[in-house]
C-alpha cells in the first residue's frame, strides 16, 4: 500500500494477556517510530528504529514492552502481561531518513485492556 | 538529547482571529522543524515544516517562524476557520541524523 499500515485497528484483551501490534511502514523508509497516545493526550515516544542501528528504546515504559523490526521493514510491538493502564492508541510512523522530511503515521491500534 | 517544549497546551480563539503556538528546543544542532495537525480520531499529518536555513515559511493561512538564536519556533494561523480546530504538535530533529522529538501538543478550538 501507499501508506503506513497498522493491524489490528482495534484490540480488546484481558488483563494479564500478551498482545502483539503490527506496523507495515512505507516501502524504503529507513526510520520507524512507535508512539502511545492516551485519550486527549500527547504523543508518548516508545521506541525508534533506524536502519541497521541499535534501536532507541529510551521511551519504553517498562520491561513488559518490547519491539522488533525484521528485515528493516515490518515492526511488531509486544506488550506482555497487559495492564489497564496500557489502554491507549498505539501509533506507528515512518520516514525516509531520520528526521528528514515527512513522518507518515499509521491509523493506529486502539488497545483496550479489560 | 533533544527536548521540545510547546505552549500553550490549550488555545481558544474566535473564528477569523489569528492563533499562535510556540515551541522551544534544547539542541542547537537541530535543523528541521515540522508541525503536525491531528484532527479528532485521526492520525497526525504534516501541515508545514521549516529548515534552519530560513527564518519564515508561509503556506496560505499558515506560517512558521524560526529563531535559531533563541531556539524557538512558532506556528501562526491567520483567519482561523472551524476546520482548524485540532491538536497541533511541533517537532525538532537533526535532519538525517536524529529522530524527531515532539512537543506535548496544543489543543486549538475555533469558536464560531
With beta carbons less than 8 A apart as the criterion, state whether B32 and A98 touch.
Answer: no
Among candidates A38, A56, A114, which has minimal Cα distance to B87? A38
CB spacing of A98 vs B97 below 8 angstroms: yes
Task: Pick B105's closest partner by Cβ from A42, A58, A97.
Answer: A42
Question: DSSP string spanning chain B?
Answer: ---EEEE-SEEEEETTS-EEEEEEES-TT--EEEEEEE-TTS--EEEEEEETT-SEEEETTEEEEEETTTTEEEEEE-S--GGG-EEEEEEEB-TTTS--EE---EEEEEE-
**Tens digit of each residue's pLDDT (9 = 90 or more) over B18-53:** 999 999 999 999 999 999 999 999 999 999 999 988
Split at pLDDT 50, 70, 90, the class of B98 is confident
Query: Per-residue pLDDT tens for A56-83?
Result: 999 999 999 999 998 879 999 999 999 9
Alpha carbon B70 to chain centroid, angstroms = 16
**Which of A40, A103, A106 has its CB closest to that of B100?**
A103
Amino acid at each position: 500500500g501507499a501508506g503506513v499500515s497498522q493491524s489490528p485497528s482495534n484490540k480488546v484483551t484481558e488483563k494479564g494477556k500478551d498482545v502483539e501490534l503490527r506496523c507495515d511502514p512505507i516501502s524504503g523508509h529507513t526510520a520507524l517510530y512507535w508512539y502511545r497516545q492516551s485519550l486527549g493526550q500527547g504523543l508518548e515516544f516508545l521506541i525508534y528504529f533506524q536502519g541497521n542501528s541499535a534501536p532507541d528504546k529510551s521511551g519504553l515504559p517498562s520491561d513488559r514492552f518490547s519491539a522488533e523490526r525484521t528485515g528493516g521493514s515490518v515492526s511488531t510491538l509486544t506488550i506482555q502481561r497487559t495492564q489497564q493502564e496500557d489502554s491507549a492508541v498505539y501509533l506507528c510512523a515512518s520516514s525516509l531518513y531520520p528526521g528528514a522530511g515527512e513522518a507518515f503515521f499509521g491509523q493506529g491500534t486502539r488497545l483496550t485492556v479489560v | 538529547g533533544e527536548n521540545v517544549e510547546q505552549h500553550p497546551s490549550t488555545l481558544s480563539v474566535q473564528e477569523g482571529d489569528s492563533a499562535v503556538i510556540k515551541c522551544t528546543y534544547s539542541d542547537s544542532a537541530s535543523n528541521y522543524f515540522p508541525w503536525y495537525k491531528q484532527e479528532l480520531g485521526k492520525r497526525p499529518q504534516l501541515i508545514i515544516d521549516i529548515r534552519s536555513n530560513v527564518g519564515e515559511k508561509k503556506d496560505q493561512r499558515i506560517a512558521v517562524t524560526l529563531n535559531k538564536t533563541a531556539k524557538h519556533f512558532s506556528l501562526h494561523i491567520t483567519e482561523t476557520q472551524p476546520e482548524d480546530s485540532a491538536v497541533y504538535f511541533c517537532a525538532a530533529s537533526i535532519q538525517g541524523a536524529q529522530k524527531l522529538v515532539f512537543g506535548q501538543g496544543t489543543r486549538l478550538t475555533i469558536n464560531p
